[in-house]
């Protein structure tokens, strides 16, 4: 899955003036959205997230998911050959 955040997105002003980057919470939202769609019957917990490199407005970011031995999902976000973020999601049966 790929996404890009438009340079005129309302979340960008102030994050950071003169050198805008996409806020980490926006990246995580793009990571979680397809997981919620694919697993509507599960509770999803963000166990770990690491941000390695800033994502600039307009840059295309690719999200890859890999099942984890624990039953969760590992994710990696890349743009232009750089790792932007990575982490682990735990999927549990909703009670």
Residue 25: CATH number of its domain: 3.10.129.10
- The kind and range of the H/E element at 78 are strand 73-79
Which pLDDT score, from 0 to 100, does residue 14 have? 80
* Residue 44 burial (CB count, 10 A): 16
- Per the structure, the count of domains in the chain is 1
Q: Which residue has the tokens 């800033």?
A: 54
| 46 assigned to some structural domain | yes
Phi/psi of residue 49, nearest 5 degrees: -145, 135
pLDDT range class, residue 84, cuts 50, 70, 90: very high
Look up the domain containing 46 and give its range. Answer: 2-8+19-93
Residue 76 belongs to some domain of the structure = yes
Tokens coding 48: 């770990």
Q: How far apart are CA 51 and CA 25, in angstroms?
A: 11
Task: Return the residue matching tokens 């509770």.
Answer: 43
In a domain? residue 84: yes
Q: What is the DSSP letter of 66?
A: E
pTM: 0.91
Q: What local confidence, expressed as pLDDT, does residue 94 receive?
A: 76
Q: Are 60 and 3 in contact (CB under 8 A)?
A: yes
Q: How confident is the model over 3-52, as pLDDT tens digits?
A: 999 999 998 888 888 889 999 999 999 999 999 999 999 999 999 999 99
Q: Is residue 13 part of a domain?
A: no
């Amino acid at each position: 899955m790929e996404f890009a955040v438009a340079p005129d997105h309302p979340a960008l002003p102030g994050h950071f003036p003169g050198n805008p980057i996409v806020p980490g919470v926006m990246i995580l939202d793009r990571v979680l959205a397809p997981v919620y769609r694919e697993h509507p019957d599960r509770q999803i917990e963000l166990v770990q997230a690491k941000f390695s490199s800033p994502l600039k407005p307009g840059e295309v970011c690719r999200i890859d998911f890999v099942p984890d031995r624990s039953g969760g999902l590992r994710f990696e976000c890349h743009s232009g050959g750089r790792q932007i973020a990575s982490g682990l999601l735990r999927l549990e049966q909703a009670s």
